Each structure stands twice: as C-alpha cells, then as structure tokens.
Structure 1
C-alpha cells in the first residue's frame, strides 16, 4: 500500500512550492528560528518502480507464453510471478498504440488516428498530442519518479523529426522522459541503427562484424541507467519504458539464434496454426470451446506455395523466431539486473507482447529487402531471387520481412493481422503483469477485457498518485482507460472496461458488454478500393464465440444496429470522425494540411550536418538534380564521402577514392552503378559537382551522371534504373561521411570520412519532375509500410 506521508497536493502539477508563513527572526541563532527541512520530491511511500516492455509486431500466437512456437522463457518467468491477460487489446498499428499507451487516452483523442506519415489537420489525425493530455511519464516525473525510454519512438510528427525540432513531442524532453536512447520512426536497421541519445544523434559502438546489435546495445543502456538511478537515489522509484525495434522488420538477428529453429517450421503455416491452437487450449489462454478461425481471405495456403520458394519461406520464419527469442533474452538481462539490485519484487512489470498483430506487410512470398515492396519493384524480387538469397535473410546483407502466411499463423487463433482493427488478429496481444510486492496471485490467468489505454491509470493507482487535473497550467482531459488493479487478486472480478471502439484506416469495430460489431474495410496488403458505406458489418457474441468465428449479423439485426450506432457515438466522442480512408490526399502534405519541412527546389547542407531523414531532405527522385560541393582539397589523393543518402539497401553517394571523384547509385542492394572520373581531381579545386540528367518518361527511370571539377567535366556514365519512392526506411543524408551501412562497395561502414574540407553542399532540382505519375494507392502503402 502507498502512503503519502507528506500530504502533497498532487492534483495540479508541478506541485506548487508553498511559501513559509511562520515567524521570521532577525538572527539565525535566535532560538525561535525554525524552518521546515527541505524535502526531496518523492512519490507516496510504497510506490513501485514501473517497467513497461512493449514488443513490436508480435501476434497473440507467437510467444510460448501464449502457446506460440517461439521460446520466450523470460516472458514466462514474468508470468510465473504474476498474471497473463488473455483479452488485452491494442489499436492494430504502431504509432497509435504507443500514443495511447503513454497517454491513457484513445489514439484519436491524442491525434494519432494513423501513423505520423499520414497525419492530416483533423484533430484525431494530426499526430500532435494536445497539451490537455499530459503523458504518463510527465505525470510520474512531476511526482518524483526517474523516467527513461529505450528503443523505438514513432510518435514524433514527421515535420518535427529533424535536428531543429521542436522537441515537444520527442521522448525527451516533451513526453516526460528525462533520458532517451533509441530511434525515431517506424523501424531501424538492427545492425546499423540510427540512434539518438536524448535529441543528439550518436553512432553505434561497433559494426556487426564486431558483434554489434541494437537490441543488446539498448539493453546495456537500460541496465546502466537503472543501476545509476539506484546507486545515487535508492529511495527514488523509476519508470522505464523499454520498447525495442524487435520484432518489427527488418528481422535482424545473429545467425545462431535463427539456427535454433532449423526444421521447426517445415510443416508450413497452416499446420503451425493447428499446433499453436492445441497448445493454447492446453495452457488455458483460450477456452476449450474456442474455434480456430478459417484462413483469412487472400492469404494463400501453404500447399499453394511453390517448391522453389518454400525453403526460403521456412528460413524467414526461423529468422523471425530467433529474433523474438533474442529479444526475450535481452528482456531477461534487464530483469536479471533488477533482481541483482533487489528491485524486481517492488517493480510493476508490464510485458505487452506486440503493439498490434503480426505484420502482413512482407508480401505473399516474403522479401529480402522491404525496399522492393515500398518502391513497387517486386518484379525484380522474383521467387527465384528470394530463394537464391536464402542465406542473406536476417544478416547485414538483408532488410528482410516474412511472408503474409507466417503473420497469420502468428495471430492464431484469430482472423487477420496488423492494420485490421476490426478483428482480434489485429488488436489482441498477450500481456503479462507482475508485481510481487503488490499482487498476491502467481501464475494465474485473467480474462477481463482490457486495452492499452488502461496501463496509465493502472500505474497511477499502484503508485498512489491521483490522476492530475492540471499539468503545466493546462486543465487536463480525464484518462479514458480503466485501471486494471481491480483484477489483480480476483480472477472473477466483474469486467470494468465494458466499451471500446477500434478504428484504423477504415477497419473498425465496437466492443460492448460481451458483443462485437466489426467492419473490415481493407486488406493490410492492399489499398482502399471502395467507400465506407459498402463495408459489410459482422456481429459476434464473445461470451459464446471467443475467436469471432460465427457471424450472427443476419440473426440479430437489431443488436447489430444498436452496436453500429454505439460505434458512431464513440467515434464522435473521441475524434474518430471524419473517418479518413483517403489515399493520395493524405500522402500530400499540402492537401492533408500538415507542414512539410522541405518545400524549396534547392537545399544547402553544411559541413557536419548528418542524420537527416528523407522527410527532412530534398527529394531528388524521378527528376534531374545537381549536387555542388564547395571544398578544399589538401592534395590530389583525397578520399572519403562528400555527401551520401541511404545505405547498402538503396541510396546514392558522391565521394572520392585516391583522388578520383565518384558517384554511386545503389538500386536496393541488387546493383550499384558507379561513375568515376578518369583522372584525379587537381589539388586546389574549390568546387566538385555532379549533374544527374534524368531520362524521363515515368518513375524510376535511369539517367546520365556527369562529374565536374570546377567547370571541367572529368567523368560521365549511366545509371540504368533509379529508386522511385524511398531509398531506405531509416538511413539518412550525411555530409562528410556515410553513416550506418555504406552505399558504395568502394568504402566500408566506418573510416569513410572525407579527408578534405567541406564548406557546404548544395542540391538543386531540375524542372522535370515525374512524381505526379505515382499510383495514389501505392503512395499510401508506402506510408503504411513505415510503421
């Protein structure tokens, strides 16, 4: 039990400093001189540490803790000391789930109706958390907690995700975390991550060859931060939000972890669903009468897949399994550190196994590089190509994602996957809660309905901290979640979270007192192809039909109509309206009503500028462009990168090798065209230039690259094909070096800094832009693949 012995008024934050109203003496040695001692701000006595672990892109049927085929002994370890919640729900997508988790409000309430890349000016979709919805971390910090976030943050508005900020919506300082170590965006390369420490970009301590992997790195940082907190302030509890990129694509993991699963998926995804279903019944995480749903429409049967691709498909799943197992291992390291500090028993631990269902964004036969899908270049990645590159899957040579069929299997026993908010496959995620000092139950199951918005009120109730009515002078909107504490020691407690809407890109549902009405608008691998009024609503009696397998819409039309009306009421109440299934309009910042950081036809970059995402860099795709670098060359043997964008999976670089100027264009890792000067650049040259003349006639065409030293042309060559939509998901524009993985095979990932001096680099666009020819449906798929 918590006890606020200081009787602090915690309802308005920051807690006001009260003026001393007693007698003030003239001489400090006067016996009447008395002042109350200065007290450090601490939470109420007995408030626990809080650790929230949020794993990425994991379905209900993946982890062994919930009957899945992937070994997660540390998740099971937490469950043995606490509770498994079998009806815990997310929003079906990354950014919205995280925004809801960290605020205690529905995702549309805090402006995150979709991912940040699809933000509009509508309040429910702006990607801007309003200041009347203070985040949980801010509330805990202002009540005396130490706060830190590690791993993924995909809640920063795209126009604020640059070195100039503003940082109001970054984890630090805007979202209440005193320390942040992780990446900004939907995903990052686990071998070559784009890391920020607070708001400053930093580089990994090593390369993959030297044993570097981001999962291990972020865990080390979390352990070190926790040890320091408890060393210097042992009586001060912490709130740690541990959100790895695992197991979002790219599925990157050391080979030995993937090899643990060799042969365990040869039976294919259909048989795997049956095996998982049987284990789930045996564990009791689904009822004995729960029905295994049919394979969702559009997902191929395992037997339909060709023998050519099957070995690669199996390896995709082995790699994914190894990745989740590896993530569990590092969560275990963090738990070990807490145990070593003597803090684990007094830590409220949430392990939320997935921010949505498993991802069906990897195509029907999977991919060795997501860039093929996002750039509409799947014609390059044939089944034969995937099969031939089986050994690259999971390694630094790939940017891989498994096939749709595996995603569906990872969501067993439910229908559908990530993005599909209408069905449990998209929104039901196994969740574990442990707090040995505060929860008497051990190893039990809880089946009360709960949602990610319930985490924040649960934490505050456990800490004895009231929900604030005012934060930083702004009257607060009440939490919309329901504290789960009532169920901690009572498996039969009546359900308190009785109503919950779901909506994502038109896929929508309403849960109310044991019934769900649902309408799926679009498949996760397809664009929106019809109006909302054409959607077919389904009705399920959850008391009798745990998995939404028996549609009762035709039998109970009045019940369905009642729930449809309730959905509209909830939608109006929580900023869901107007429902937005637009395609090209939301991709275009001007039409969507959100700011764009770069709108000019020219951009000047100065020396030292680095880690500029594609949202904060000028767009050179599908058009001619010129790169002009103002430099000083110490001699005629200069080396290193002048400017680069992207990396080994796609991008371009202007650089020098032994004094010769070179331009490399990397086409998604399958081919790199390199144009070189015939002779070394003369010492004393002040300007180096690349002009790329685009062929035109459509998207992703080739062009001619011409190299200049001053006004003298020193080289020319062809680039046969270019990237039409996006170079990479996370690699960046860097001046004076090529960070992370290298664009060109002419240099390595490290040691590629330019040995001359760069003053500035100017990128000018031509007037022959062909981007308007893009398919609007594909543009939205591009955005959705980023989360």
Structure 2
C-alpha cells in the first residue's frame, strides 16, 4: 500500500512480500480505513486466502520526535543565551546544537500565545483575543477554539504520533474548567494530547500546585518540607512518560509540549537556587539593562548598530527607590533569577533523559524563552503576595512590610512577584513589557531550534522574522505530514503561519524572510509589521486601566531593518507610510477576527453582558464528599455578603476533628472545621492575620447538623462580620472577623469538602492529615441578600483578571 504525503510516496506492505501503490491520503483525518477488495474465500485454509497484515499507524519514515519547551513570562533579556544575567546552560546547550532566532515573536499574553502556538493560526482566529477569564461572545474573544482549526497535537496524533503535555494550559474556557467538563477543549482528550499532567489556570503555587492528570485532579507526592516542587515533579512525569513511550513503541515518534509554570509568578524556588545570585543585582535595574545590552552586542543577538531604548514612561529609576526597600528589590530579582535557572536545570534533566535513550539527535527541539515579555504585574515595589494587588489592598503592603518580609520571598511563605523595573530590565534592549503588544518588549522572545539529524545548522544565528504561529507548520514540514484539509469531517481553515524550515540549513542565514506581514493586538495595544517596517499604537500601560478611546491613541512608525529596537520614531517624517500601515492593520484585523477591538472593563467582567456562560448561579450550592479542587470559577461567591455553611455530619465517638469545608489557603481563605472536639471557623486575610472563632462547647457525638453563620457588617466591600457556630439549634460559639477579602481568595487554591488541600488556611492544622474524622453526608452554602460586590470598581475587576494569566 502507498501513503502519499507532502508530494512523497510511502510503499506499505500488503503481505506475502507484496507492495502496492494504493495511496492513503493523510490530508483527511482520521485517515480513512480502506476496505479489502481482493478475493474472499470460504475456507481460511484455501491457498487463495490472502489478507494484508494489520499495519500500525505510523508517521512517514524519518519523522522526528518533537519537543516544544515554552517558558512563561520571560523577556528577551533574561536568559544568558540571549545576553541576560541568568545562567541558562541548558538553553545554551540546545543553541550549540542548533540555531538562535533573534526575531521570534509572541502575542504579549499567555493564553493567546499558547492557543496560537498549538493551532498554527493567529490568536483571534482561534478565539483567544484575551485570557479565558475575560471572554466575550465575539468570535475573536470567545476563548473557544473553532472546530475548523484543529490543533497541531490532534493532527500529529491522527498521523501516528504519541502526544503529551506537561505544565501550564490556560486555554480551557472558564465555564468548562470543572470536573463535569465538557473536555472538548482540555488538553486531554479534546486538545489532541493522549496524556496531560499540569494545571489549567494562568499560574499555580509551585509548592502546592493544583494539578490535573488528564481530567482528574491529583495531589502532589509531598510537601515543600519533603522536597516537593512542581517544576521537578512535572519533569519527572515527562521523563517517565518518554521512557515508557520509547520502551513500548520505539518506532513511533512523540510530540511533547513542555510548558513550565516558571517563570510566571509566584516566583517560587528552593532557597539555594536564589542564593546563587546573592549580590548580583544590587546595582539595580538600570545598570542591569546596560550590562545586558553589552553582552547582547558581544553575542551578536542584536546588531552592532542597535540602540538601547530609554526606560519606558511610568517605570521608576532605580535611584528613585528608597533605601528601605532596595535590599528586598534586589532579593526579588535574585529569586527570579534562581527560578529561571532552576527551570533551565530541569529542561536539562529532560534533555539528559533523551540523550540516555539515544533519541536527542532525532528530536526537533524548540525552546521558546517566554510566551510574552517579562511581567510588569508586580507593582512598582514588588509584592510578597499577589493577593494584595488583586484585592485592592496594596495599602497593607507598605515598603516597610516588603522590607521586613525579605526572607519570605520565594519560599512557601510567599506568593511573590518582582517589581516593574525588573520586568523592564528583563526585556532589554526593547521598550515595554508583557501585555504591550505594540512594542517588541512585549512580543519578542529569544527562541532556539535544534535537530542534529535533521540538517539544522549547529551554533548559528537566524534573524528572519518569525512568529509563534510558525511552529505548527514547521513541525508538519519536518515530519513530512501535509496540513489537513479536513479533520473529523470538518473542513479546516488553513494555517496562518509560515514554516521556518527554510532557515535550518547551513548557508541560510541570509535567506529572504518569508513571514513578511504580522499584526499584533492585545487590550487595545496594537501594531503591524510589514516588510521591515512597524506601525505601533500603545493604548494602555500594563499597570493602569484604559483611560481613553482607541481613536485617541498615538501611532509611532519604525524602520526595523535599520532601527532594530524601535528607538527612533519616524511617524512625523513619513506620514504617508504610516497611513498605509494603519490601513494594512485594519485589513488584517478584519481578516483575523480582531474586530471589534475590545478595551471594555465592566462589560467583560459581567458574564451575562459579555455573553459567556456561568457554571454556578443562584444563592445556594450543595457539595458532597469527594468534591475537591473546585476553583473559584466553579463555586458560589461568598465575598462581601452574609452566608451560612451547613453540614450534615456523623460525629464519631472520639469526637469531631478535621476540616468540613475550606476555600483558599495560607495566602487567603476561610475554613470551617473541628479541632479537639470543638467547632471552629478561620478567616485568613492574605496571610497577614487569621481570625479564628472556636466553640465553647464540644460537638455532640452522633448525627449532627453543624453550621456556621457569617453576618456581614455591611457598609461596603472588605468589611468584617460576626461569626456564630451551631450544633443543631444550639449556638455553641461566637466571635468576630475584623476584615474580609473583597475580590479573590486565591489564584489556584480551591474549595475542598472534608479536607483542606494544598497550603492550610488555618494554623490549627497542617497541610496534610487534616481530613474530617467523621462522616459527611453533604455540605451546603447559602448566601444572604446583602451583597455589596457591586461597589467594586469595574476597572479594577479587569486589572485583576489580567493578573491571573
């Protein structure tokens, strides 16, 4: 039998040493099964009985293994591979075996970059014009990938690859990210991955992660004290999966998407890794930019005539920062550097495993150092807990508070993020940061490709323009697999990226670039690249809300063939060229679902107005034993109002002990539990204080209705309230919570029935062994009618949503 692909022919055995030239078409997926058309005999022993052997589905001969490593929130100027201050020897190891790409681009934000990478189409084409939490019903912003844009792993799987994803997802629509699915847009099974081990949201606590294995929540194997860290864990899982795959199907190539939470906040890393950088950032971010720029020139990852851009407006100079906080600021960067170096170390562990298996040289490796520019979402002086920012409680975290908690940064006692100035330094030599799709600081990410046995030049540099949508067509061309015309019966929209394979071989450094036009848009920040020129319009700063309409934005014009870093605005000198590029942007925006551009706040935060479904509605929600790891998107909202938690329980003869229902963790949340036979309610205010109310009397043995009622003080958001504890109709305890969390308890810690998973809300119990010792039939939350959440500023709601990615 013959298989036809990319203009080539595969001869496939038909049995008895026979070969035939019947083609199997890889362009329509799944590949159709061909009916046997030969002679059918009555008796299997008849000498005329001939059937071809059953053939396993395999990709074309020579198709490589593929490893795509996508680092999170890392700017162009962070890794030593591109002149940065953070030692990344394993990224450099890949570069020595392959090519550095100096003009590779992302979308300026995480969910959109990931969706574009896996789909081979622009982020608005696949519905990811923003993050999943601010989806609307407009096609370009729905967070729903259309079924005419099948993802790369699905295409590879249907062509005989094994496929697996490890680490961060953040592509599942928020109303589908629960235990009941649907799972059509989860990595497994709907996204084409046969195995998934990672987290669904924009970030996770690296010490206490919220992990899914395929579609089931699973718990880490240990605690931080026992040596657990998610980066190490996900790498071990990736190595185990690869070893098994090569043991059981050595002739099948794999596609592995390895997407760590590093280096997205929280910047969690073992202390010894951060300590490697002690004292190396005391000079501050302005000097670090200059030092990085000099190394970049020396490495040749920017041209000799490149200009170091000025500090972007609104970012303070290092000398403007107070002496009180400078040691903590330096420590923030030490921790970040340790986190990136730690991630590089574990990428190296994965590469070592490939080498031990003898498959590294047959593997096409992509290392994309950042899904966007470095993150400027950590405030001007950084934070020990992002919860302060998302809950509009920054006044609690003074400079003195940050300085006093310097030793917590990076440890399980923090949920930290570095200051804006460090983000800008990590985007050297460019202007701006993550979220700002108009300028290279938000969208240009150093990328490395190696494939020793695939003809990729070793140790070279490529300067051709490329974009994350180019990854999928590059992989298919390397594998000899055609882009499918139909998948699962649906006619496919063509890939919008350009294969990068033409740059691979020696002598192609000066090859004419083929990706000649590319639009960028995020939150109104927008740009167009076309044949060596960019027209750009920055609409808003990452740390500020929208303050004006799109029509009021100021456009800039750059000749990026001569002005590598967008340092010399030519808009005044060349108005006709600018007008032409502005028009071209509108054409591209209309073509790829960018219109209508959406800079709204209130409408996008209200699901009913935005047009996206809500999983949980109403004023009551009932939970049952075994329901755990329920995100805030999938549970009823008790903030800024009165509420009651009721549990139908069986208290054992030894007395009540353990958690009945908990939400959040050590960085913010509440817990209803029993301890030493008594009832208790704990309210953790962002790790600053924990108010605990305990009952005066023991809980009676036997069947009991246990209840806590929180009576909200009212008068605005984030107020306190009175707590009353009940066993049946008897009030057995009362106390106060002085202040509450107004907007969000946690980025990834959850509602858990019968236990408090991950970090503990209360100091009354540990992170493990806190399960309720009796039996729970059900637990119910009922809300009061005194909701004050409408008082939360809508612009702040949008800013909070952006912090989640």
Corresponding residue number in structure 1 for 2:243: 227
Q: Please give the residue correspondences for 1:161-560 in structure 2 after superposition, counting only pairs within 5 Å.
A: 161-489=177-505, 490-560=508-578
For residues 434-488 of structure 1, the C-alpha deviation after alignment (integer angstroms, 9 at most, x for no partner) is: 0000124111000000000000000000000000000000000000000000111
1:5 equivalent in alignment to 2:21: no
For residues 379-414 of structure 1, the C-alpha deviation after alignment (integer angstroms, 9 at most, x for no partner) is: 000000000000000000000000000000000000
Write the distance in 1 (CA, Å) between the matches of 2:518 and 2:371.
Answer: 17
1:93 equivalent in alignment to 2:109: yes
Write the distance in 2 (CA, Å) between the matches of 1:679 and 1:388.
Answer: 39
Corresponding residue number in structure 1 for 2:18: none
Q: Please give the residue correspondences for 1:644-683 in structure 2 after superposition, counting only pairs within 5 Å.
A: 644-683=662-701
For residues 405-438 of structure 1, the C-alpha deviation after alignment (integer angstroms, 9 at most, x for no partner) is: 0000000000000000000000000000000001
Corresponding residue number in structure 1 for 2:743: 725
What is the alpha-carbon root mean square deviation over aligned residues? 0.8
CA contact (8 A) 1:362 1:401 kept: yes
3-state SS of the aligned residue for 2:367?
strand
CA contact (8 A) 2:99 2:456 kept: no
Please report how far the alpha carbon of residue 635 of structure 1 lies from its aligned counterpart in structure 2 after TM superposition: 2.2
Corresponding residue number in structure 2 for 1:756: 774
For residues 515-568 of structure 1, the C-alpha deviation after alignment (integer angstroms, 9 at most, x for no partner) is: 000000000001111000000000000011000000000000000000000000
Please report how far the alpha carbon of residue 684 of structure 1 lies from its aligned counterpart in structure 2 after TM superposition: 2.2
Write the distance in 2 (CA, Å) between the matches of 1:237 and 1:103.
Answer: 20
Corresponding residue number in structure 2 for 1:768: 786
3-state SS of the aligned residue for 1:767?
coil
Please report how far the alpha carbon of residue 685 of structure 1 lies from its aligned counterpart in structure 2 after TM superposition: 4.5
CA contact (8 A) 1:506 1:579 kept: yes
Q: Against the structure 1 CA distance between its residues 481 and 691, is the aligned structure 2 distance closer, same or farther, given a 3 Å change threshold?
A: same
Of 770-779 and 682-691, more deviation after overlay is shown by: 682-691
3-state SS of the aligned residue for 1:190?
coil
Write the distance in 2 (CA, Å) between the matches of 1:329 and 1:379.
Answer: 37
Please report how far the alpha carbon of residue 3 of structure 1 lies from its aligned counterpart in structure 2 after TM superposition: 6.5
For residues 189-235 of structure 1, the C-alpha deviation after alignment (integer angstroms, 9 at most, x for no partner) is: 00000000000000000000000000000000000000000001100
Please report how far the alpha carbon of residue 638 of structure 1 lies from its aligned counterpart in structure 2 after TM superposition: 1.7
1:684 equivalent in alignment to 2:708: no
Q: Against the structure 1 CA distance between its residues 444 and 3, is the aligned structure 2 distance closer, same or farther, given a 3 Å change threshold?
A: farther
Please report how far the alpha carbon of residue 585 of structure 1 lies from its aligned counterpart in structure 2 after TM superposition: 0.7
Match of 1:574 among 592, 595, 598: 592
3-state SS of the aligned residue for 1:705?
strand
Please report how far the alpha carbon of residue 16 of structure 1 lies from its aligned counterpart in structure 2 after TM superposition: 0.3
CA contact (8 A) 1:5 1:45 kept: no
Structure 2, unpaired ranges of 5+? 1-5, 13-22
Write the distance in 2 (CA, Å) between the matches of 1:238 and 1:4.
Answer: 20
Write the distance in 1 (CA, Å) between the matches of 2:180 and 2:788.
Answer: 30
Write the distance in 2 (CA, Å) between the matches of 1:58 and 1:439.
Answer: 29
Write the distance in 2 (CA, Å) between the matches of 1:21 and 1:439.
Answer: 41
Corresponding residue number in structure 1 for 2:19: none
Write the distance in 1 (CA, Å) between the matches of 2:361 and 2:703.
Answer: 66
CA contact (8 A) 1:3 1:464 kept: no
TM-score by length of 1: 1.00
Write the distance in 1 (CA, Å) between the matches of 2:157 and 2:703.
Answer: 55
For residues 212-262 of structure 1, the C-alpha deviation after alignment (integer angstroms, 9 at most, x for no partner) is: 000000000000000000001100000000000000000000000000000
CA contact (8 A) 1:85 1:430 kept: yes
3-state SS of the aligned residue for 1:688?
strand
Match of 2:71 among 55, 66, 73: 55
Q: Please give the residue correspondences for 1:737-756 in structure 2 after superposition, counting only pairs within 5 Å.
A: 737-756=755-774
Match of 1:159 among 175, 188, 193: 175
Of 680-689 and 115-124, more deviation after overlay is shown by: 680-689
CA contact (8 A) 1:641 1:753 kept: yes
CA contact (8 A) 1:636 1:682 kept: no
Write the distance in 1 (CA, Å) between the matches of 2:796 and 2:309.
Answer: 30
3-state SS of the aligned residue for 2:328?
helix
Write the distance in 1 (CA, Å) between the matches of 2:314 and 2:288.
Answer: 18
Write the distance in 1 (CA, Å) between the matches of 2:592 and 2:348.
Answer: 38
Match of 1:608 among 623, 626, 630: 626
3-state SS of the aligned residue for 1:356?
coil
3-state SS of the aligned residue for 1:678?
strand
CA contact (8 A) 2:631 2:748 kept: yes
Please report how far the alpha carbon of residue 37 of structure 1 lies from its aligned counterpart in structure 2 after TM superposition: 1.2
3-state SS of the aligned residue for 2:263?
coil
Write the distance in 1 (CA, Å) between the matches of 2:11 and 2:465.
Answer: 35
Tell me how many residue pairs correspond in the alignment: 787
CA contact (8 A) 2:711 2:721 kept: yes
Of 723-732 and 6-15, more deviation after overlay is shown by: 6-15
3-state SS of the aligned residue for 1:679?
strand
CA contact (8 A) 1:54 1:351 kept: yes
Corresponding residue number in structure 1 for 2:157: 141
CA contact (8 A) 2:59 2:479 kept: yes
Match of 2:644 among 606, 614, 626: 626
3-state SS of the aligned residue for 2:659?
strand
CA contact (8 A) 1:516 1:540 kept: yes
Please report how far the alpha carbon of residue 5 of structure 1 lies from its aligned counterpart in structure 2 after TM superposition: 3.4
Corresponding residue number in structure 2 for 1:565: 583
Write the distance in 1 (CA, Å) between the matches of 2:425 and 2:450.
Answer: 28
Write the distance in 1 (CA, Å) between the matches of 2:328 and 2:662.
Answer: 32
Corresponding residue number in structure 1 for 2:44: 28
1:782 equivalent in alignment to 2:787: no
Match of 2:56 among 21, 40, 43: 40
